[in-house]
Structure formats: structure tokens, C-alpha cells
Structure 1
Amino acid sequence: MSRVLSSLFVEQLTVIDCAYLDAQRGVVGESWIVDIELRGELDAQSMVLDFGEVKKRLKRALDDSADHTLIVPRRHAGLSVHEAGGRVDLEFRGPAAGAIEHSSPAIAVTLLDAESVTAEALTAHLKPVLAAVVPANVAELVLNLRSEAISGPYYHYTHGLKKHAGHCQRIAHGHRSRIEILVDGVRDAALEAEQAARWADIYLGTREDRVSTANARQRYEYTSAEGAFAMELPAERCDLLETDTTVECIADHLAGLAAAARPGRDIAVRAYEGVMKGAIARRLR
């Protein structure tokens, strides 16, 4: 008698908001949507796994692994990494990106056994993590990481929020985010495209956290609840905000830029923080 397996799927179980190191692009903010499928025999409830347990077990495992971390390709030739005392200190040199230095508690870094960071490499890293938290009746786990389909402009940004009580305090996590700029109630495609180009693969720093601007580089340091963090990278890959870099402050910053570019007009900016969430800021004439 053949074995019967059922499949349970959850689309967009969660979003992994993270950053990763890339030889060409530098430090890249990313938002990967997570879809999962569990294949196995039915349990005593006639289920593969209760949906509530799927969200509880698998989402928690993802939140405690790659989400809100800096993902580092351990086998990249330009990587130098030192692990000691619960901390990770690294320097990453790529042919185009310029040197990037990062120092943090180990919990804020995902060391990937790969030469480069891709959705496929991260999927291979995460599958055993998720397989460890599902019950024995689950015979196979299918994991898919995908990017949000965005028809208009978007940018990749990396930042850290030292005042945040959760994982956002980590100095190098990020997002792939759409942007909408409305001038007198109508989207301004030119302004959106300009801003997306300006913030392609950008690190957004807060002025009070910047400790050095020497040698055409910027260094940011702070201590938060998880410990001491530091990030240094080429100045051309940074933009500075006078405020914190919460999405509310980012939206307000972008509204100010749009108002300066379109004086005497009503401005509304919808700034996204990853997928399907963000903040709105307005400047009224």
C-alpha cells in the first residue's frame, strides 16, 4: 500500500528583513517574503500541522535566525572574520564595494556557508533550522524566499535603531522598500525615480551615532540593550539623517526633500519599511 502524504502551505508566512554583504553592491538591505509548504502524514487532529503552530514554531525560528541580522558569505575570499566572547568582528573587501567593517554581538550576524549571499544559499541555510522545529509526521519541508513584486521605484537601505527594544537595534539590518511621492495628490514619477536612485544600496546613519569621517569613510558606533555595535564603510555609500532612522523619520526626511524640489505644493510621502508597512509624512502649502 502506497504512503499518502498531504501538503500544507502558508504563503507569506513572514518577511525576513535583513542586510547582506555583496562584493559589487556593498551592504545591501533586503526583504525576502517567506512561503512554506509542509508535506507529511496527518496527525491525530487530521492535520499536517495546525496553522497556529506553523506560525508559532516556524516564524519564531526565522525571527531568531536570519531576520534582522547581517548575512555574511563566510567563504568569500575578501572576508576576514574573528569570533570570540560572543562577538563577531569582520572586515569585508570586494572588488567594487570598498572595505566594510562591522562589529557586533554574534546574535546580530548570520554566517552563511557560501561565497555569495543569494536567496538560494539562505534557503539551504534555513531549511534545517525549520526542520528542527516541526513534528515527526512532517516528512518534507519546502521553503521559498522571494522578493515583493514592485511596479514602481524602490530602494535597498540598511540602518540600525539603537533605541529599539527588539531586533531593530542591530546596526546593520535592512529593507527593500517601495516609495510613493504625491504632489498635489498625484504621484510624481520623476521624484520617485530620483530618490530611488539616490538611495540604491544605501546605509542610513544618524548624526549622533557618527564618530568619524576620515579617509572618505564614515564610522557609526553605539551601545544598545544587546551590546556594542560598530559599522564603517565608504562615505559614498552612506546618507546622514539628523534624526533616528525609523520609517517615520525617513518619511519625514523624504517629504522635506520633495517639498524643496516642488515648492508651494502639497506633498505626501508613503515610505515603506520592507513589505506592506511603512509611514506617511506630509508637507502642506
Structure 2
Amino acid sequence: MITLFVNRLTVLDASLLDPELGLLGESWLVDAELEGSLDHQGMVLDFGDVKRRLKQIIDQQFDHRLLVPGQARNCRIETSGPRCRVELQLPDGGWLEHSSPRDAVTIIDAPAVNGDSLAHAIGDAITPQLPDNVHRLRLRLAPESIEGAWYRYSHGLKHHSGNCQRIAHGHRSRIHLFLDGERDATLEAAWARRWRDIYLGTRADLLETFERNGVPCYRFGYTAGQGRFELALPRSRCDLIDTDTTVENLARHIAATLAAEHPGSRIRVRAFEGVDKGAIAEA
């Protein structure tokens, strides 16, 4: 037997429902190991095939989706035809409701969604598609190692033609902020606290403000190319943006906000969207 490995095969960007914390955006780096015997080419599997087969399944079944723990006691899942409705009751009295096409949700057969349970679910989806000479697949999912400030956010882009239109997908992102040409770690940490585990909603998509169990809530909704999407969650877990929440607009929003808070200073923002990509804005 010999083992083939591929580090950083892909980045999986998604949102998950945490039984304790609610809606969380996350970005996982995916590493893969395939153990097997050599084929007629002297390979376990060609690297091109590894990337194509594994990444295709991850992209189609897990990426840019809401990942729901199917065994969580406080989570209720209802499917009807092409629709899926998920409701989560939080220990602190908070509540969340997500309604969308079924393809925007993946149910993970576990009490919680984490790197291990997600790796197991992805492995179950991939293994039947591997050739007979591959005897074992091992996956490792881990967040990016970040020194300094970072935040997790969820959002949806109703005008996007692809899967970014799904109302609850997300990212774990670092943030670099410069004040008068100097990087400012204190400013970065403050912004990371501001957007830690946040839902970034477009103001035009806000359907109503209401209370549930005494907790103020927002309900967002829109119709996009894939269908109707709605999301309700505590107002305290949201920040409203005047534009679509693309990373370009988020960088501009951060820059404008900081410029107003630091009049006369030059602001430069490097806002990341997940791993190794993002947008720069100045004010």
C-alpha cells in the first residue's frame, strides 16, 4: 500500500448551525490522503483526477450551503418537495429560522457540525466515486491558522448567478486595517469583535422586525435565480449594510465607517473573504 496526499485541496466556505451559538460562517482548508495500490500507470490516482473528483463533490454537496446538525435536539428540520425549513431554538432564548430550496442545505448526521463530522460526511459522499484500487480516504478539515484579528460572518447575495445567492453561507476571514499608513492591530481587534459570528444583511432585504420570546429579531428574504430564501434570527446577531454584501462593498463599508470615526486620518482596508482572497478599499 502507498498513500497519496494533497494538502489544501480546496477551501470549503459555508455556514453552519451551532446548537449553542446559532448561525456561524466558516472556511475550512481541506487536506486529503488516499491509501491504495498502484494502477497500470504506477499511480494510486492521478493528481488531476484527485482534485477534480473530490473538489466536484465538495463544491456540489457542501460548499456555499447551510450545514445543519441532524442529531441536534434543539434543531427541527422539515422538507416538503423542493423546499427545506430549519428551525433552531438557542439555550439563551434566541431563535433562528431558515427557509430555502433544499439544495441550499446539507444535513450532517451528527449532534454538531465541526471539522471531524464534516470530514466524515464528505468522505461518505466521495468514497463510492473512487476507483477500486483506492482502499481508504482520509480527510482533514481545519480553519486557516490566523495570527491576529479575524471574524466569521454569514450572508447572501441575491443578485449573484451562482451559489453565493444562498441566504446563509459564510466565511472565516482575517482583517487588515491601516491608519495613516500604519497597520493598527487594536483597530483590527475592535472590528473583529464587532463582526464576530455576525449575519451581514442588506437593508433592502429586511422584511420585518419582530419579537419572539422577548428577543428582538430580524427577518430577511428575497427571490433569486434558485428560488425563494428567508432567514429570521436575533437582531443582536446582525449588522445591516446599505448595499449587497459583496466583499468589495464590505471593504468600502469598513473604510467609510472608520473614516467617520477617525476624521482627518487615511484609512486602508484589506478585507478577506475566506482564505487568500478579498478586496481593498481606501477612504
> How high is the TM-score relative to the length of structure 2?
0.96
What is the deviation of 1:66?
A: 1.1
Could you tell me whether the CA contact under 8 Å between 1:23 and 1:97 is conserved in 2?
A: no
Residue 271 (structure 2) pairs with residue 268 (structure 1): no
Match of 2:210 in 1: 214
Q: How many residues align?
A: 279
Could you tell me whether the CA contact under 8 Å between 1:25 and 1:96 is conserved in 2?
A: no
Match of 2:35 in 1: 39
Match of 1:138 in 2: 134
Q: For residues 193-243 of structure 1, give each alpha carbon's deviation from its aligned partner in whole angstroms, at most 9, with x where no partner exists.
A: 111001110000001111101221101101111111000000000000000
The runs of at least 4 aligned residues of structure 1 exceeding 3 Å deviation read none
Residue 103 (structure 2) pairs with residue 107 (structure 1): yes
Match of 2:251 in 1: 251
Match of 2:230 in 1: 230
Q: For residues 25-77 of structure 1, give each alpha carbon's deviation from its aligned partner in whole angstroms, at most 9, with x where no partner exists.
A: 21000001000011111112111111111111110010011111111111111
Letter in 1 for 2:251: A
What is the deviation of 1:97?
A: 6.5
Q: What is the RMSD of the two structures over their aligned residues, measured on CA atoms? A: 1.0
Give the SS at the match of 1:130.
helix
Letter in 2 for 1:134: L
> How high is the TM-score relative to the length of structure 1?
0.96
Within-5 A mapping of 1:129-168 = 129-168=125-164
Letter in 2 for 1:231: L
What is the deviation of 1:248?
A: 0.4
What is the deviation of 1:96?
A: 2.7
Residue 26 (structure 2) pairs with residue 22 (structure 1): no
Paired-residue identity, %: 51
- Structure 1: runs of 5 or more not aligned: none
Distance 1:261 1:6 in 2: 58
Distance 1:272 1:130 in 2: 29
Q: For residues 103-147 of structure 1, give each alpha carbon's deviation from its aligned partner in whole angstroms, at most 9, with x where no partner exists.
A: 001111011111111111111111111112221111111100011
Q: For residues 78-102 of structure 1, give each alpha carbon's deviation from its aligned partner in whole angstroms, at most 9, with x where no partner exists.
A: 1121101111012111203711000
Could you tell me whether the CA contact under 8 Å between 1:191 and 1:258 is conserved in 2?
A: no
Q: For residues 155-182 of structure 1, give each alpha carbon's deviation from its aligned partner in whole angstroms, at most 9, with x where no partner exists.
A: 0000001111111110000000000001
